[in-house]
Structure 1
């Protein structure tokens, strides 16, 4: 990936990402990749698909470069460090973490996603052993 100006953009565009869809015998693997479509083989993807897929990354790159120019090198480094630390904060295993600190740092605290309106997955099973799950998460179970 090459940076062009202030934003990290792939100069090859969306056509540079090619997924291998053939199996061991050189035939399209329908079970893993679905049915083959002649349309996707002939027509290139729309130019805005790549822009839409990389919008968040480009927005963050511009934000970090603006911070770097206005406040110095420490500002984007501090923000990246805070985001990394707050993304690791979790509740105990049976409960879903709200990640409110991470959402506040990324600016998503003012957004209202569809899962908040309709309700997310209510897959809380209280019959799990919290200690075993935490040992697996912290990689203590390899002894």
Structure 2
């Protein structure tokens, strides 16, 4: 198509009425100190597993597993009432057998104060036309 006939759609990079005022502190500091320790321990554990798989099965096997993980992490439902479950990704990574906080403290999406995401706004965020907060229905 000609560039003259195309409609340029640009999302706003900041919308304080919709998303609140952006703070720099939230970009630098994590909400809880244990999150950084958990994240680094998990990264070390994954690196160790990749090294073991490389030594056992060869270099192609961890690359194939990473490709499968990327494919399974991209599969998701459109934003709206039904959240994406990522069962294939959970089965592959082994987190399906895990017992997370949502198993005994309830899922935050099941609370009465949770509002489902507007489908149109969710698609705008996914396509990069608008900026928005992370939403559990498509992450």
TM-score by length of 1: 0.54
Larger relative contact order (CA 8 Å, sep ≥ 6): 2
**Residue equivalent to 2:73:** 87
Matching residue within 99, 119, 127 for 1:138:
127
The within-5 A match list for 1:25-44 is none
Structure 1 residue runs of 5 or longer lacking an equivalent are 1-30, 34-48
**Residue equivalent to 2:13:** none
Q: Secondary structure of the equivalent of 1:98?
A: coil
Structure with max Cα Rg: 1
- 2:73 and 2:39 map into 1 onto residues whose CA distance is 22
**Residue equivalent to 1:55:** 41
Matching residue within 109, 112, 116 for 1:125:
116
Structure 2 residue runs of 5 or longer lacking an equivalent are 1-22, 26-34, 131-139
Deviation at 1:136, TM superposition (A): 3.9
The within-5 A match list for 1:57-76 is 57-76=43-62
Q: Secondary structure of the equivalent of 1:108?
A: coil
- Range with greater deviation from structure 2 (58-67 or 93-102): 93-102
Structural RMSD (CA): 2.9
Deviation at 1:87, TM superposition (A): 1.1
Deviation at 1:74, TM superposition (A): 0.7
Higher share of residues assigned strand: 1
Counting matched residue pairs gives 94
Tell me which stretches of 4 or more aligned residues in structure 1 moved more than 6 Å: none
Deviation at 1:97, TM superposition (A): 1.6
**Residue equivalent to 1:102:** 89
